[in-house]
Chain A
Amino acid sequence: MKALRNFLDKLKPTFSEGGKLSALHSVYEGFEAFLFVSNQTSKSGVHIHDSIDSKRVMFWVILALVPALLFGMYNTGYQHYLAIGLLEQTSFWQAFGWGALAVLPYLVVSYLVGLGIEFIAAQIKKEEIQEGFLVTGILIPLILPIGIPLWMVAVATAFSVIFAKEVFGGTGYNIFNVALITRAFLFFAYPTKMSGDSVWISLNEYFGFGKTVPAVDGFSGATPMGQAAIATGDSLQLTSPLGDPLSWWDMFLGLIPGSIGETSTLAILLGGAFLIATGVASWKIILSVFAGGAATIFVFNTFAVNAYMAVPVWEQLCLGGFAFGAVFMATDPVTSSRTETGKWIYGFLIGVLAMILRVLNPAYPEGMMLAILFMNIFAKLIDYYVVQHNINKRLKRATLSSNPAKTTPHE
């Protein structure tokens, strides 16, 4: 620690005003703040009530994402070996290691591109580097299918960091969730790489590991959501890639094809519990998203006219990106509602919209992304009306209590 401190202190003059590399001032600043607590304190006007700063909040979210990330790595490997029919001969660590190698490049690309743009933007604007991308960078790979080319991820990340974040003023000023904009960009720009049957399970080898062999007979790469969207007839049997029926436990545990981090409801709920315990995410939003989704599915179940509408609540809530969106996307403190009543409305409407899009619109097998982005627009509007309602209520109370005094008959 001491050696690191000394090293940084020695570098400081180079990056300070008048130094050789003063143009990279904020890069130095950023790394110093990343490694140590900043030793500059405010002189006036700031009242700190505890030690939570955005660096720590970001770090907690990353910790909460670790279960989903690790499970996503394992599931990627699991689905790969399942598809090529070698699952029996494969150990847990082999599947995990293969999946880790497959997922890692996405993490690297997303961080390199995103942080690169943030660093450049900070130099141009002569501001400090903000921590906002630390979480976005890990969220982006988790909501993508494993088959998507890396250059597309790079393009989409650059697009969303520039147009969804820097243009609006950087971290904390964005209207839309940056990671979801990345996904939406990819979804509309390269639909063949973001949906369908062939993108969810990788059949490639990575760095010499794994095998590039054709999938076994009877293999189908469709996700449960994909199967449900094209299902016809009265009964719907969701199956694994090899055609075995899926139980609720499979869906909850997450050994199903899907985006890298979204499949395991269990891992997501672990992260969610951690976020609620640390106070980073609002339990009201998470709960109301699930409530909104459950209520909508309940209505669909009651008036079911096809097999998809009859899928029970507990399965719907575990499928697709619903849980991931509810826990990690809807609760983004920047883009969600901030008033307490507003959080309930905001979350509930996300759940309702996601299920309506998912079940009633055959063009979109999953509706969580669009539902959250759509409600991002309305988050501040909800806040506005909640605040106005409160103001009116209190005004009425104030006039009620002051009126009797005024109207006492003196005349």
Chain B
Amino acid sequence: MKFNKEVLIKPLNRANPVTVLVLGICSALAVTAQLKPALVMGLSVVIVTAFSNLIVSFLRNGIPNRIRIIVQLVVVATLVIIVEQVLKAFAYEMWKSLSVFLGLIITNCILMGRLEAFALGNKPFDSFLDGIGNGMGYAIVLFIVGFVRELLGSGSLFGIKVIPQSFYDAGYANNGLMILPPMALIVVACIIWVQRSIRKELQEK
């Protein structure tokens, strides 16, 4: 069992599922108005991607090609329901605020993409690392977007006020547009902009 660092590191930046492959955008818009749900959502996706990659990779030689999507869906749905039930039991408020988007991890394009593109053709441990890497790549983007949106939109981080009252007294106001979904797209666009100015090889011709 060789530790393949490349598989783990690559999706964090060079092959980031959100900013380079532009997958999983819908939930990036929906749950990032606040930092806490964004973080929990990111971690949930890390767990689900990692273990579904692992399980599907174990099964890969036994899955008939014609029904592989159904098998993948069963695996993913099981994991998502486990994550959802754990959150419901131990973090009820968080489960409520994430609401339907937790269940929608099943349809997250990143998951199906990694299962199809990686887990079906690679060894279990590599697939596990690939799942963690891609989940983390997604979580990092969600974290940055959530950070910017909560800081500028609500003046707080993790629900704690960080912009001092004296700022508000001097005329500062929270940017209400940051709370609205369009701004998440623009923040993601800014991340892509910065990333591609640094890594010139990612720029499309």
Contact (A163, B176) CB under 8 Å given A149-B171, A151-B171 = no
Is the pair A189, B171 in contact by a Cβ cutoff of 8 Å?
Answer: no
Chain B residues numbered 146-192 whose CB sits less than 8 Å from any CB in chain A: 171, 173, 175-178, 180, 186
B177 in contact with A185 (CB, 8 Å)? yes
- Contact among B176, B180, B186 with A190 in the assembled complex (CB-CB below 8 Å): B176
In the complex, the answer to whether A192 meets B177 with C-beta atoms within 8 Å is: no
Q: Mark A140-156, 1 if CB is under 8 A from B, else 0.
A: 00000000010110000
> Is A193 within 8 A of B177, CB to CB?
no
Q: Give the number of residues in A that approach B within 8 Å (Cβ atoms).
A: 11
Which of the residues B171, B173, B176, B186 comes within 8 Å of A188, measured between beta carbons?
Answer: B176
Complex interface residues of chain A between 169 and 208 (CB less than 8 A to chain B): 185, 188-193
B186 touches A189 (CB 8 A): no
CB distance from B151 to the nearest CB of A (A): 14
Describe A's contact surface by its main secondary structure: helix
Residues of B within 8 A of A185 (CB): 177
Tell me the bound Cα distance from A191 to B180 in angstroms.
13
Cα(A163)–Cα(B187), bound, Å: 11
Least CB distance, A154 to chain B, in whole angstroms: 12
Chain B residues near A188 (CB-CB < 8 A): 176-177, 180
A190 to B175, Cβ gap below 8 A? yes
B176–A193 CB distance below 8 A: no
Chain A residues, Cβ within 8 Å of B171? 149, 151
Chain B residue with the shortest CB-CB distance to A149 = B171
In angstroms, Cα B178 to Cα A188, docked, is 9
A19 to B: closest C-beta gap in Å: 28
Other-chain contact of B178, A152, A189, A193 (Cβ < 8 Å): A189
Chain A 329-351 near chain B by CB (<8 Å), digits 1 or 0: 00000000000000000000000
Output the least CB separation between B67 and chain A (Å). Answer: 42
Residue of A nearest to B178 (CB): A189
- Chain A neighbourhood of B175, CB < 8 A: 189-190
* Bound Cα distance A188, B182 (Å): 11
Q: How far is the CA of A152 from the CA of B173 in the complex (A)?
A: 9
Docked pose: A193 CA to B175 CA in angstroms: 11
Closest-CB distance, A343 to chain B (whole angstroms): 29
Q: What chain B residues lie within 8 Å of A163 (beta carbons)?
A: 186
Q: Contacts of B173 on A, CB cut-off 8 Å?
A: 149, 152, 190, 192-193
What is the bound-complex CA distance between A191 and B186, given in angstroms?
A: 20
CB distance from B5 to the nearest CB of A (A): 36
Residues of B within 8 A of A151 (CB): 171
Residues of B within 8 A of A149 (CB): 171, 173
Chain A contacts for B176, CB-based, 8 A: 188-191
- List the B residue with the shortest CB-CB distance to A192: B173
Q: From residue A410, how far is it (CB to closest CB) to chain B in Å?
A: 55
Residue of B177, B180, B186 with highest tally of chain A CB at under 10 A:
B177
Across-interface contacts of A189 in B (CB, < 8 A): 175-178
Extra pairs beyond A151-B171, A189-B175 (12, CB < 8 Å) = A152-B173, A163-B186, A185-B177, A188-B176, A189-B176, A189-B177, A189-B178, A190-B173, A190-B175, A190-B176, A191-B176, A192-B173
> Which B residues form the contact surface with A (CB < 8 A)?
171, 173, 175-178, 180, 186
16 pairs across A/B with beta carbons < 8 Å?
Answer: A149-B171, A152-B173, A163-B186, A185-B177, A188-B176, A188-B177, A188-B180, A189-B176, A189-B177, A189-B178, A190-B173, A190-B175, A190-B176, A191-B176, A192-B173, A193-B173
5 closest cross-chain pairs (CB), A and B: A189-B177, A189-B175, A188-B177, A189-B176, A149-B171
